A and B are shown apart, each in its own frame.
Chain A
Amino acid sequence: MKSVKDVQRKEYYIFSPFLRIFHWIMVASILILFGTGLLITKPALVSSTEPTFTVMSMDLIRDIHFITAFVFCASFILRIYGFIINKGDRLFPRFWEGHFYSETVEVALHYMLLKPHHAPFLRNPLARASYAGLYLMVAIEILTGFAMYFMTEPSAIGGALFGWVNTLLGSEMMAHYVHHYVAWLIIVFAIGHFYMVLRAEFMEGEGEVSSMFSGKKVLAHVPKDANELD
Chain B
Amino acid sequence: MQKRESLLEAYLKRGFSRRAFLKGCVTLTSLMGLSMNMVGKVVEAAENTPLPVVIWIHGHECTGCDESFIRSASPLASDLVLTSIALEYDHLLSAACGAPFEAHLDETIAKYNGQYILCVEGAVSTKDNGIYCMSGGHTFTHLLEKAARGAAAIIAYGSCAAYGGIQAAKPNPTGSAGITNFVGGKPVVKVPGCPPIPEVMTGVVMHVALFGTIPPLDGDGRPKQFYGNRIHDTCYRRPFFDAGMFAETFDDAGARAGWCLYKLGCRGPETYNSCGNLRWWQGMSYPIQSGAPCIGCSNSNFWDEDPLTDRMPKYGKLGDVDKIGAGIAAATAVGVAGHAVASLVQRNKRDNLLEEHDDH
Question: Hey, which bits of chain A sit against chain B, CB under 8 A?
Answer: 1-2, 38, 41-46, 51, 54, 56-59, 61, 111, 113, 116-117, 151-152, 154-155, 160, 163-164, 167, 170-174, 176-177, 180-181, 184, 187-188, 191-192, 195, 199, 202-203
Which B residues are CB-close (under 8 A) to A173? 267, 270, 296, 299, 301-302, 305
> Could you say which of B22-30, B171-179, B182-190, B337-345 contacts chain A?
B337-345
A31 to B175, CA, bound (A): 44
Which B residues are CB-close (under 8 A) to A154? 218-219, 228, 272
B284 at the interface (CB under 8 A from A): no
Number of A-B contacts (CB under 8 A): 119
A188 to B322, CA, bound (A): 12
B332 at the interface (CB under 8 A from A): yes
Whose C-beta in chain B lies nearest to the C-beta of A152? B233
Which A residues are CB-close (under 8 A) to B354? 2
Partner of B313, one of A59, A151, A155, A177: A177
Partner of B340, one of A41, A42, A43, A195: A195
A177 to B305, CA, bound (A): 10
User: From residue A171, how far is it (CB to closest CB) to chain B in Å?
Assistant: 4
> Could you say which of B51-59, B124-132, B240-248, B274-282 contacts chain A?
B240-248
B220 at the interface (CB under 8 A from A): yes
- Known contacts A42-B322, A54-B245: A203-B328 contact under CB 8 Å: no
- Known contacts A54-B245, A58-B241, A152-B230: A42-B332 contact under CB 8 Å: no
Whose C-beta in chain A lies nearest to the C-beta of B224? A155
A192 touches B343 (CB 8 A): no
B343 touches A171 (CB 8 A): no
User: From residue B76, how far is it (CB to closest CB) to chain A in Å?
Assistant: 32
Which B residues are CB-close (under 8 A) to A191? 329, 332-333, 336
B115 at the interface (CB under 8 A from A): no
Partner of B263, one of A42, A116, A160, A181: A42
A203 to B344, CA, bound (A): 8
Whose C-beta in chain B lies nearest to the C-beta of A171? B301
A43 touches B244 (CB 8 A): yes
User: From residue B38, how far is it (CB to closest CB) to chain A in Å?
Assistant: 18
User: From residue A179, how far is it (CB to closest CB) to chain B in Å?
Assistant: 11
Which B residues are CB-close (under 8 A) to A181? 321, 325
User: From residue A34, how far is it (CB to closest CB) to chain B in Å?
Assistant: 10
User: From residue A114, how far is it (CB to closest CB) to chain B in Å?
Assistant: 10
Partner of A171, one of B244, B300, B311, B313: B300
Which A residues are CB-close (under 8 A) to B349? 116
Whose C-beta in chain B lies nearest to the C-beta of A55? B244
Whose C-beta in chain A lies nearest to the C-beta of B227? A154
Partner of B350, one of A45, A116, A184: A116
Which B residues are CB-close (under 8 A) to A195? 336, 339-340
Over the window 54-83 of chain B, the binary record of Cβ atoms lying under 8 Å from chain A Cβ atoms (1 yes, 0 no) is 000000000000000000000000000000
- Known contacts A116-B346, A154-B228: A41-B311 contact under CB 8 Å: yes
A156 to B354, CA, bound (A): 66
Which B residues are CB-close (under 8 A) to A116? 346, 349-350, 353
A57 touches B332 (CB 8 A): no
A-B contact pairs, 12 of them (CB 8 A): A2-B351, A44-B244, A54-B243, A54-B244, A116-B346, A152-B233, A154-B218, A164-B219, A171-B270, A173-B305, A176-B270, A191-B332
B140 at the interface (CB under 8 A from A): no
User: From residue A216, how far is it (CB to closest CB) to chain B in Å?
Assistant: 23
Which B residues are CB-close (under 8 A) to A1? 351-352, 355
Q: Which of B199-236 contact A (CB under 8 A)?
A: 218-220, 224, 228, 230, 233
Which A residues are CB-close (under 8 A) to B262? 43
A186 to B305, CA, bound (A): 24
A46 touches B244 (CB 8 A): yes
A57 to B245, CA, bound (A): 8
B312 at the interface (CB under 8 A from A): yes
A213 to B350, CA, bound (A): 29
Which B residues are CB-close (under 8 A) to A155? 218, 224, 228
Which A residues are CB-close (under 8 A) to B104? none
User: From residue B337, how far is it (CB to closest CB) to chain A in Å?
Assistant: 8
User: From residue B130, how far is it (CB to closest CB) to chain A in Å?
Assistant: 23
- Known contacts A1-B355, A43-B263: A180-B321 contact under CB 8 Å: yes
Question: Which of B245, B248, B267, B299 neighbours the largest number of chain A CB atoms within 10 Å of its CB?
Answer: B245
A192 touches B218 (CB 8 A): no
Known: A172-B270, A203-B343. 12 other contacts (CB 8 A): A1-B355, A2-B351, A2-B355, A54-B244, A59-B244, A116-B353, A171-B305, A173-B299, A188-B328, A192-B332, A199-B339, A202-B344
Whose C-beta in chain A lies nearest to the C-beta of B337? A195
B347 at the interface (CB under 8 A from A): yes
B228 touches A184 (CB 8 A): no
User: From residue A208, how far is it (CB to closest CB) to chain B in Å?
Assistant: 14
B353 touches A59 (CB 8 A): no
A184 touches B325 (CB 8 A): yes
A58 touches B243 (CB 8 A): yes
A38 to B329, CA, bound (A): 15
